[in-house]
């Protein structure tokens, strides 16, 4: 039996004339797998499928050994799933506690006292215990994202699907997020999408780079940085050979591309490999 | 307030031993707050020498939970008082069309329709019916239709995607909310009907059309976006009323016996269609 908890084979999806996914294939096992890619790469579409929200046009998906196209399997997956959408909506008149409690009810936690204990546990995990009684509409954007993360953690799910979880979080909150997710991922499968290559380098066992609905890379973060080995160098000015180049805070240009002879090569990072793969689309996004 | 009844000893003993289910325990606790006799009975039933650490922890957790949990909102508290279970009340409290603002708007619409009926009393009758309450009859079925349309679905419920990915069936959530919206609209419309000038059979002639339109929109929502489905049904209703009045020459034709029978058939067919296609509510195929 394979150790894969997520198996995606040739998945395609169109929205009208827009091709969102064009035959994506990858597997994931316990641990954290990161999806990296610019806007419009298809990450969110893929995660919505993994969360059993959206059906593919073609291809197959298996999660936790089950097929989400079958109603009984879909229900079984949902019982072991935690999902944080890219743009989580809230009933803004609810307090943080009431909102998470509401989702706990959707997750079939009917008995009030154990449910309330679980709500307090997940709010504490994201450091929102003291804010539990605050109305959602009175919370900051970062706090709301933590509320959304808290609801995904209800019931200690075996598969956690997190879409742009760290967007809008301050550095301290991101570190806390890494702690929480890495603890969870010891025995579970976490699939997350992010724009932050630092998150991928810090957290992920595997990384999938996507662009325009296809997979460009599938490997470890180290292997992604190795893509750029020998192709990253520092120079006093923008090198004409560089595919990408920017002025660093130290006043020198970091160039990526086919390095000229004698270039001052530097150790590549995950970000360099990513930029080499997705090129100017990612640079524009980083600049934005 | 005087308490006219008392809890029997078996129930109190069951409570003290933790054997009562959640609903009965809450009911008993509510009674104990206002009844000193039963409090004394309950105090006697609790064998403090038999309480172990685990029981104490459980009791303490219960106290913490009661004190610590935020007080539910007005709608949720009202629903619990009406006998709705606490977790169902929370699901309903998140229904946009059960918010006070929506119910107030619905009440205002009904009030205008009733006022319009009074305003047109002196008009010459058209066809074989009176015009005075025709507007009321035409409008009332649209209220639950609109209420159900904005009770659940993509673009309506902000937590729709989170709900869809949860094990609770979306179809069940939709039915719970639709039933609550229908009940609220029916009560409001029923009260408004009593205020119509000249109470007769027409005061209740909106009931089957209301059910028919609402269930038809749910059936249509299995093949089209919910808001589109409700819009199409509302348009069809207005068009049918206008066409019937023009062709039959009876403004009330859409509310008389044969049409009511037709609505019964529509309700049955639409219910079968909704039940048969309920899986379409469980996963999206579009954006």
User: Where in chain A are the domains?
Assistant: 1-80+157-219, 87-156, 225-287
To the nearest whole Å, the CA of A235 is away from the closest chain B CA by 46
Q: What is the mean pLDDT of residues B181-193?
A: 90
Q: Which domain holds residue B52?
A: 9-69
* Contact across the interface for B286 and A15, Cβ inside 8 Å: yes
Residue B77 lies in a domain: no
Considering only CB atoms, A105 lies closest to which of B87, B160, B279, namely B87
Question: What pLDDT does A204 receive?
Answer: 93
B50 and A CB contact within 8 Å: no
Confidence of residue B154 (pLDDT cuts 50, 70, 90): confident
Confidence check: pLDDT of B76 > 80: yes
Best interface-test mutation with B: which of A15, A51, A53, A117 has the largest number of B CBs within 10 A? A53
Q: Is A168 exposed, middle or buried (0-12, 13-18, 19+ CB in 10 A)?
A: middle
Q: Is B56 exposed, middle or buried (0-12, 13-18, 19+ CB in 10 A)?
A: exposed
3-state secondary structure of A29: coil
Residue B236 lies in a domain: yes
Q: What is the mean pLDDT of residues A266-288?
A: 77
What is the residue whose two structure tokens read 């348009």?
B235
Chain A residue with minimum CA distance to B59: A113
- CA-based diameter of chain A, in Å? 70
Are residues B111 and B172 both part of a single domain?
A: yes
Confidence of residue B128 (pLDDT cuts 50, 70, 90): very low
Residue B43 lies in a domain: yes
Closest CA to B89 of A112, A79, A185: A112
Q: What is the mean pLDDT of residues B249-257?
A: 78
Confidence of residue A280 (pLDDT cuts 50, 70, 90): low
Are residues B64 and B129 both part of a single domain?
A: no
Question: What pLDDT does B124 receive?
Answer: 44
Among A135-139, A255-259, B110-114, name the most confident range: A135-139
| CA atoms of B85 and B26, how far apart (whole Å) | 11
Q: What is the mean pLDDT of residues A211-220?
A: 93
Average pLDDT, chain A: 90
Are residues B93 and B209 both part of a single domain?
A: yes
Confidence of residue A112 (pLDDT cuts 50, 70, 90): confident
Residue B231 lies in a domain: yes
Residue B129 φ then ψ, to 5°: -120, 180
Q: What is the mean pLDDT of residues A103-118?
A: 92
User: How many domains does the structure of chain B reveal?
Assistant: 2
A138 and B CB contact within 8 Å: no
Q: What is the mean pLDDT of residues B228-256?
A: 86
Are residues B149 and B51 both part of a single domain?
A: no
What Å distances lie between residue A279 and A36, A211, A243, B147, CA to CA?
13, 10, 8, 49
Confidence of residue A85 (pLDDT cuts 50, 70, 90): very high
B247 and A CB contact within 8 Å: no
Question: What pLDDT does A284 receive?
Answer: 58
Confidence of residue B83 (pLDDT cuts 50, 70, 90): confident
Closest CA to B283 of A149, A183, A86, A51: A51
* Strands A159-163, A253-257: pairing kind: unpaired
B chain contacts of residue A71, beta-carbon cutoff 8 Å = 279, 282
Percent of chain A with pLDDT over 70: 96
Q: Is B1 exposed, middle or buried (0-12, 13-18, 19+ CB in 10 A)?
A: exposed
Residue B243 lies in a domain: yes
**A236-269 pLDDT, tens per residue?**
888 888 888 888 888 888 999 888 888 889 999 9
Residue B79 lies in a domain: no
Confidence of residue A191 (pLDDT cuts 50, 70, 90): very high
Confidence of residue A146 (pLDDT cuts 50, 70, 90): very high
Confidence check: pLDDT of A118 > 90: yes
Q: Between A and B, how many residue pairs show a Cβ–Cβ distance under 8 A?
A: 108
* Contact across the interface for A102 and B173, Cβ inside 8 Å: no
Pick from B51-55, B91-95, B181-185, B215-219: least confident: B51-55
Q: What is the mean pLDDT of residues A46-68?
A: 95
Q: H-helix or E-strand containing A254?
A: strand A253-257
Q: What is the mean pLDDT of residues A32-44?
A: 92
Question: What pLDDT does A220 receive?
Answer: 95
* Contact across the interface for B285 and A53, Cβ inside 8 Å: no
Are residues B112 and B16 both part of a single domain?
A: no
Are residues B200 and B245 both part of a single domain?
A: yes
Confidence check: pLDDT of B153 > 90: no
Q: What is the mean pLDDT of residues A135-150?
A: 91
* Contact across the interface for B162 and A106, Cβ inside 8 Å: yes
Question: What pLDDT does B49 receive?
Answer: 66
A chain contacts of residue B86, beta-carbon cutoff 8 Å = 112
Are residues B43 and B155 both part of a single domain?
A: no
Closest CA to A201 of A286, A104, A271: A271
CATH 2.40.40.20 corresponds to the domain A1-80+157-219: no
Are residues B60 and B134 both part of a single domain?
A: no
Residue B142 lies in a domain: yes
Pick from A107-111, B75-79, B185-189: least confident: B75-79
| CA atoms of A161 and A151, how far apart (whole Å) | 12
Residue B271 lies in a domain: yes
To the nearest whole Å, the CA of A231 is away from the closest chain B CA by 40
Are residues B193 and B262 both part of a single domain?
A: yes
Are residues B59 and B142 both part of a single domain?
A: no
A chain contacts of residue B80, beta-carbon cutoff 8 Å = none
| CA atoms of A126 and A154, how far apart (whole Å) | 12
Are residues B51 and B95 both part of a single domain?
A: no
* Contact across the interface for A89 and B166, Cβ inside 8 Å: no
* Contact across the interface for A55 and B284, Cβ inside 8 Å: yes
Chain B residue with minimum CA distance to A149: B162
To the nearest whole Å, the CA of B285 is away from the closest chain A CA by 5
| CA atoms of A50 and A63, how far apart (whole Å) | 7
A chain contacts of residue B166, beta-carbon cutoff 8 Å = 78, 103, 106-108
A chain contacts of residue B94, beta-carbon cutoff 8 Å = 91, 94, 102
B276 and A CB contact within 8 Å: no
Pick from A180-184, A197-201, B100-104: least confident: B100-104
Are residues B28 and B142 both part of a single domain?
A: no
Best interface-test mutation with A: which of B71, B80, B155, B161 has the largest number of A CBs within 10 A? B161
Confidence of residue B37 (pLDDT cuts 50, 70, 90): confident
A103 and B CB contact within 8 Å: yes
Beta carbons within 8 Å of A51's beta carbon, 6+ residues apart: A81, A83, A85, A161, B161, B165
Q: H-helix or E-strand containing A182?
A: helix A171-184
Question: What pLDDT does B126 receive?
Answer: 46
B54 and A CB contact within 8 Å: no
Q: Is B274 exposed, middle or buried (0-12, 13-18, 19+ CB in 10 A)?
A: buried
* Strands A206-211, A242-247: pairing kind: unpaired
Closest CA to A42 of A20, A64, A16: A20
Confidence check: pLDDT of A19 > 50: yes
Let me know: does A2 contact A189? Beta carbons within 8 Å.
Answer: no
């Amino acid at each position: 039996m394979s150790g894969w908890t997520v198996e995606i084979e040739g998945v395609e999806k169109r929205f009208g004339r827009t091709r969102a996914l064009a035959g994506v294939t990858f597997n994931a096992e316990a641990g954290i797998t990161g999806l990296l890619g610019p806007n419009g790469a298809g990450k969110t579409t893929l995660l919505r499928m993994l969360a059993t929200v959206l059906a593919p046009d073609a291809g197959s998906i298996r999660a936790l050994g089950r097929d989400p196209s079958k109603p009984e399997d879909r229900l079984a997956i949902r019982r072991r799933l935690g999902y944080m959408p890219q743009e989580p909506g809230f009933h803004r008149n609810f307090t943080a506690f009431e909102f998470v409690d509401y989702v706990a009810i959707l997750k079939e936690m009917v008995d009030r006292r154990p449910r309330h204990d679980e709500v307090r546990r997940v709010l504490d995990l994201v450091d929102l215990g003291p804010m539990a009684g605050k109305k959602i509409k009175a919370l900051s954007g970062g706090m709301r994202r933590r509320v959304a993360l808290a609801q995904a953690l209800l019931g200690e799910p075996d598969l956690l699907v997190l879409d742009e979880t760290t967007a809008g979080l301050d550095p301290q909150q991101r570190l806390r997020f890494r702690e929480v997710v890495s603890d969870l991922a010891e025995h579970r499968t976490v699939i997350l999408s992010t724009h932050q290559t630092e998150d991928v380098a810090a957290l992920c066992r595997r990384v999938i780079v996507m662009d325009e609905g296809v997979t460009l890379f599938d490997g470890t973060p180290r292997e992604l940085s190795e893509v750029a080995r020998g192709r990253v160098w520092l120079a006093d000015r923008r090198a004409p050979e560089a595919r990408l180049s920017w002025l660093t805070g130290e006043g020198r240009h970091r160039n990526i591309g086919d390095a000229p002879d004698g270039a001052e090569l530097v150790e590549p990072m995950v970000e360099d490999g990513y930029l080499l793969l997705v090129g100017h689309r990612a640079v524009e996004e980083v600049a934005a | 307030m005087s308490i006219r009844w008392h809890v029997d000893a078996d129930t109190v003993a069951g409570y003290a031993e933790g054997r009562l289910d959640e609903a009965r325990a809450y009911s008993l606790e509510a009674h104990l707050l206002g009844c000193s006799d039963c409090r004394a009975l309950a105090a006697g039933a609790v064998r403090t020498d038999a309480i172990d650490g685990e029981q104490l922890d459980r009791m303490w957790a219960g106290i913490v939970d009661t004190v610590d949990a935020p007080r539910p909102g007005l709608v949720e508290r009202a629903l619990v008082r009406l006998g709705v279970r606490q977790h169902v009340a929370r699901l309903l409290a998140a229904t946009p069309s059960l918010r006070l603002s929506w119910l107030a708007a619905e009440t205002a619409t009904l009030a205008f329709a009733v006022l319009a009926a009074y305003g047109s009393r002196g008009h010459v009758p058209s066809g074989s019916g009176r015009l005075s309450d025709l507007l009321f009859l035409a409008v009332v079925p649209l209220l639950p239709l609109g209420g159900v349309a904005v009770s659940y679905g993509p673009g309506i419920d902000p937590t729709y995607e989170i709900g869809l990915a949860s094990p609770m069936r979306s179809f069940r959530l939709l039915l719970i909310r639709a039933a609550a919206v229908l009940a609220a609209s029916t009560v409001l419309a029923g009260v408004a009907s009593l205020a119509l000038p000249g109470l007769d059979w027409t005061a209740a002639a909106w009931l089957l059309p209301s059910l028919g339109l609402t269930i038809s929109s749910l059936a249509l929502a299995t093949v089209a976006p919910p808001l589109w489905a409700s819009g199409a049904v509302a348009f069809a209703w207005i068009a049918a009323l206008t066409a019937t009045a023009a062709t039959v020459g009876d403004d009330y034709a859409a509310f008389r016996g044969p049409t009511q029978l037709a609505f019964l058939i529509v309700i049955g067919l639409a219910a079968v269609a909704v039940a048969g296609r309920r899986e379409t509510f469980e996963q999206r195929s579009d954006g």
